[in-house]
Chain A
């Protein structure tokens, strides 16, 4: 089954890549600065967090005395969480928002979530490049260990895409899902050690936190970018399995409901 889906994605690669480019262009079409905004947005975020937390609030992480330590900690979690939440949010709306197209054109529907994921990746790519530039400029670049982020990212993308497709299909039939996802993501964000450090929490809460599949992913990024540590791969095994299971469930759900979905749009 995945063969035919993969084949469809390959045959329609021109359409997929074209759509990603067009959406990016369309977003900045009527603006004077155009694509610059894609850079300014994340830049502003990094500056705000650095200034407010590192300089004004003097937030410090235990055992780190660099002025930028907390900022790097925050950004490595926030940016990657941003990617996760963007994929899930886009995935959740991908079939509903493209209902018009789905009803009138005959094409492999699986292209739509692929476009959504790629769009999120484009945004993330820009943001991430700025983050790397910030690390280099502030002299905090951790070295070649950054390449360890790639497998972590892949797991995270699979996890997010699986969740996004499931939410996307369900949302066509139950509009509640879209609303629910928004709320869940907010709680999930604060339940993940992004703004705070897991080490500062009491032991029972820490155990609870270990059930959160996003926690080891985010902690891996923080380890890589702040401490220059190679992730503890064993800790990523459960979330990898969950990601695979979610993708399989998502694709199965999609295959089973794709026909009925058109009737509901």
Chain B
């Protein structure tokens, strides 16, 4: 168990205009620099308490992998300091540095020895590693014959054969099939319970939300935001859609959730209300109640096409339902500057007990990735209570009916 403390961490790569320039710099050390420094990570500061799980998100090239490599110790920081104690196990990309000509078993032994295990200890762990990887007879074939999924299965099994104090996982899990992903997340969760500190890079929103206590968003080599996974992921989502003129704003809502607003602002949401059956704004809703979502929008500049969408998310950020006017075949074409529109969605609250948030989006096409006028995460909040309906569990109200037929002859025979 250990604290991890990262202070002022930065990584720069040297870029030489040509190999000759590098040679000149090497043999003429006093003639000055001939390279440009390209910073891929700068001013990274964060702390992890023992047993904490942190997810790192960010677009490609944001510096996530470089950060993890430095944490794992393979890449040397250009600046700053990393304090990390205990046994660190790292799964960096695919294959874990397996030697393609050696068999799986030999690679396991080699890896174990690199983790500082003795041959006897590796022998003891081997059956368990084999069983977890489930690659069968392939264990005695050279690794070059493995599929990428098999390599990853073996790599994960070796790296996690013993519970490490710190586990670093870079994207690796996305290679496996869903069965193995599930299995490896189970193992990660059990490590977490036992006190392992976890640092994970993933593009899988679900993975980060369910496993991590905290998320760090990296953007262009710097920490853009850290906090609750749901909030960070919403912000990241908004950032993904960011274009030249877009702005991103965040505000903290009454219940602590963060509302993120981003977009070009060519069209914006003026008012959004969730109305209950009584026609009044509703923040407490009965299971199955008929609801209306009324959204007023106005265009500040001319846009060729306009689509409004909404999405209901639960407390953990999982999407319950989402739809937009494109999919409902009602996009507005050629919207003039200054023109407004009012949308009313009708739906029934077929949801389980709990608190939910509605996110709204104004975009040109089906997806906000293409052109995002405005994206408003957690625009409205509401709670669902269950008074009138049967006492069910889960997040969907499926209105189950029951028929029971008793067969008394069967019981007589018994």
Q: Which of A81-108 contact B (CB under 8 A)?
A: 100-107
B39 within 8 A of A: no
Known: A22-B102, A26-B102. Contact between A15 and B96, CB under 8 A? no
Q: Which of A15, A173, A176 is in CB contact (< 8 Å) with B114?
A: A15
Chain B residues, CB < 8 A from A19: 110
B52-77 interface code vs A (CB 8 A; 1 in, 0 out): 00000000000000000100111110
Residues on B with C-beta less than 8 A from A260 are 14, 76
A18 CA to B99 CA, complexed, in Å = 13
Which of B19, B22, B97, B109 is A101 in contact with, Cβ under 8 Å? B97
Contact assessment for B109 and A18 in the assembled complex, using a CB-CB cutoff below 8 Å: yes
Give the interface segment out of B87-95, B333-341, B346-354, B399-407: B87-95
Complex contacts, A106 vs chain B, CB 8 Å? 72-74, 88, 90
Query: Which of these, A22, A103, A173, contacts B69 with CB under 8 Å?
Result: A103
Q: Are B74 and A103 within 8 A (Cβ)?
A: yes
A202 at the interface (CB under 8 A from B): no
Range for the number of chain B residues in contact with chain A: 20 to 34
**Chain B contacts for A15, CB-based, 8 A:** 110, 113-114
The distance from the CB of A213 to the nearest CB of chain B, in whole angstroms, is: 23
A259 at interface (Cβ–Cβ under 8 A)?
A: yes
In the assembled complex, the CB of A195 is this many whole angstroms from the nearest CB of chain B, namely: 34
The answer to whether A14 touches B113, judged by C-beta atoms less than 8 angstroms apart, is yes
Is chain A's binding surface mostly helix, strand, loop or mixed? helix
Q: Give 1 or 0 for each of A244-265: 1 = CB within 8 Å of chain B CB.
A: 0000000000000011101100
Hey, which chain A residues are within 8 Å of B73, CB to CB?
A: 106
Q: Which residues of A contact B119 (CB under 8 A)?
A: 14, 18
Q: Which of A51-106 contact B (CB under 8 A)?
A: 100-106
Q: Are B96 and A104 in contact (CB under 8 A)?
A: yes
A12 contacts B by Cβ under 8 Å: yes
Closest to A13 in B: B113
1/0 per residue, CB under 8 A from B, across A143-174: the answer is 00000000000000000000000000000011
B83 → chain A closest CB, angstroms = 15
Whether A262 lies near B74 (C-beta < 8 A) is: yes
Which of chain B's residues has its CB closest to A30's CB? B142
Chain A residue at minimum C-beta to C-beta distance from B23 = A174
A76 shortest CB reach to chain B, Å: 33
B88, chain A: closest CB distance, angstroms? 8
Give chain A residues whose Cβ lies under 8 Å from the Cβ of B116: 11
Q: Report yes or no: B74 in contact with A104, Cβ–Cβ below 8 A.
A: yes
Pair A101/B113 contact, Cβ less than 8 Å: no
Alpha-carbon gap, A102 to B97, bound state (A):
7
Among B23, B92, B114, the residue within 8 A (CB) of A107 is B114
- Please tell me if B106 contacts chain A, counting CB pairs below 8 Å: yes
Fill in one digit per residue for A17-29: 1 if any B CB lies within 8 Å of its CB, else 0: 0110010011001
**B:222-281 near A, CB below 8 Å:** none
Contact B75 A262 (CB under 8 A): yes
* Interface residue ranges of A127-156 to B (CB < 8 Å): none
CB distance from B55 to the nearest CB of A (A): 21
Query: What chain A residues lie within 8 Å of B72 (beta carbons)?
Result: 106
B118 on the interface (CB 8 Å rule)?
Answer: yes
Q: Which of A14, A174, A262 has the most CB of B within 10 A?
A: A14
Of B23, B92, B113, the residue contacting A18 (CB under 8 A) is B113
Q: Is B22 a contact of A104 with CB atoms below 8 Å? A: no
Q: Which A residues lie within 8 Å of B93 (CB)?
A: 104
Using an 8 Å CB-CB cutoff, how does the interface string of B353-384 with A read, 1 for contact, 0 for none? 00000000000000000000000000000000
When chains A and B are docked, how far (Å) is the Cα of A174 from the Cα of B13?
Answer: 16
Residue among B69, B114, B118, B142 making CB contact with A12, cutoff 8 Å: B114
Residues of A1-52 at the interface with B, using a CB-CB cut-off of 8 Å, are: 11-12, 14-15, 18-19, 22, 25-26, 29
Interface of A toward B, CB cutoff 8 Å = 11-12, 14-15, 18-19, 22, 25-26, 29, 100-107, 173-174, 176, 258-260, 262-263
16 A-B pairs whose Cβ atoms sit less than 8 Å apart in the complex? A14-B113, A15-B114, A18-B110, A22-B110, A26-B102, A26-B142, A100-B97, A102-B97, A104-B74, A104-B96, A105-B74, A106-B72, A258-B76, A260-B14, A263-B13, A263-B75
**The 9 nearest A-B residue pairs measured at CB:** A259-B76, A106-B73, A101-B97, A104-B97, A15-B113, A105-B97, A26-B101, A104-B92, A14-B113
